[in-house]
Amino acid sequence: MKKGDLLVEAHGLGRSFGSKRILDGVSLALRAGEVTGFVGANGAGKTTAISLMLGLLRGEGQTRFLGRPLHAFGAPGTVVGAVLGGVAGHPRHRLRAHLRMVAAGSAVPDRRVDELLEIVGLTGAAQLRLPELSLGMAQRAGIAQALLGDPPVLILDEPANGLDPHALRWLREFLRAQAGLGRAVLVSSHLLGEMQQLADRVVVLTRGRVVAQAPMAEIVERVAGRRAVNLECPELPVLARVVAEQGGQLTPTGEHTGLVTGLDRVRIGTLAVDAGLPLYWLHEERPSLEDFYLAIAEEEFTIS
């Protein structure tokens, strides 16, 4: 697989529960060497979409892995690995024994289990029973289980839920490393700040519909366009006219304070100096991915 190769295509995914439309015409693509962030509020439809992709739910649309439906593969675990909430198994099973049992079902040798335990940093926890695993350990164990068949596609549904900062950092670095190995990684999350540090591409879901789908760099650029600059100037009306002449807009927030949109702080400072206007305070606010999400959740536009 070369970076950028199309590994997964989902088209027109849809699902209704009674008269309620849960998912409506969701389409997305996953490419080798990329982490795709699947973001949206809880209840937006992320888990339903992933379940449809994996064939765990019946519904509308189709998903092709490596150009074929998942059921066409004799060993789907060698095509896609999925983590849908840590690792599940008999409460008396120890971690290594559990993974060996799962591996045997896919004709994966025991040595692969020990290799993955080391990769995810759980060698020392191999003899713990499954209920004894912490939340972070359980997520790592789930990832190890998903990777048993060495699949080119890795799908994780809300893997960051409940993790502490150290576990979040490990997860982010691990998933980036997996993409570096050529895997296509899909990560669903409502933690938008985390996606800003992790994903190459973002698919935003709102009320069961994709409302934005773009490379992270494009999202960041769009976010930058929404930045605002707070300032304090004793001659606010004069500065407002200068700013307007350059395509910006100054909205007063107090007698001598205002908020400027459309221009960055460097441009505003330069304009004030050229016009001989004193500035007592100048601070630029850069909106986050969360701000972007909240904005488009209301506007519901699509980035092609």
pLDDT in tens, 18-62: 889 999 999 999 999 999 999 888 888 999 999 999 999 999 999
In a domain? residue 98 = yes
Instruction: Please indicate, yes or no, whether residues 235 and 205 belong to a single structural domain of this protein.
Output: no
Is the pTM above the cut of 0.85? no
Inside any domain, residue 222:
no
Strand ranges across the sheet with 20-31: 20-31, 6-17, 60-65, 68-69
pLDDT band at 226 (very low <50, low <70, confident <90, very high): low
Q: Are residues 276 and 174 in the same domain?
A: no
Per-residue pLDDT at 290 exceeds 80: no
Task: Kindly state the average pLDDT of the residues 144-156.
Answer: 96
Q: 49 and 197, same structural domain?
A: yes
Tokens of 115: 């290799």
* pLDDT for position 87: 82
- Token look-up 């290799």 returns 115
Q: What is the 3-state secondary structure (H, E, C) of 165-191?
A: HHHHHHHHHHHHHHHHCCCEEEEEECC
Please indicate, yes or no, if residue 127 is contained in any of the structural domains: yes
Tally of CB atoms within 10 A around 73: 14
Indicate whether 208 belongs to any domain: yes
Q: Which residues pair with 147 in a beta bridge?
A: none
Neighbours of 302 (CB within 10 A): 12
Mean per-residue pLDDT for 261-270? 90
Domain extent, residue 49, equals 6-214
Q: Which residue(s) pair with 100 in the sheet?
A: none
Same domain membership, residue 250 and residue 118: no
Q: Are residues 111 and 240 in the same domain?
A: no
Domain match, 62 and 174 both: yes
CATH number of the domain residue 139 falls in: 3.40.50.300
Number of domains in the chain: 2
Interatomic CA distance for residues 58 and 51, integer angstroms? 9
Is the pLDDT confidence value at 303 over 50? no
Please check whether residues 208 and 232 belong to one and the same domain.
Answer: no
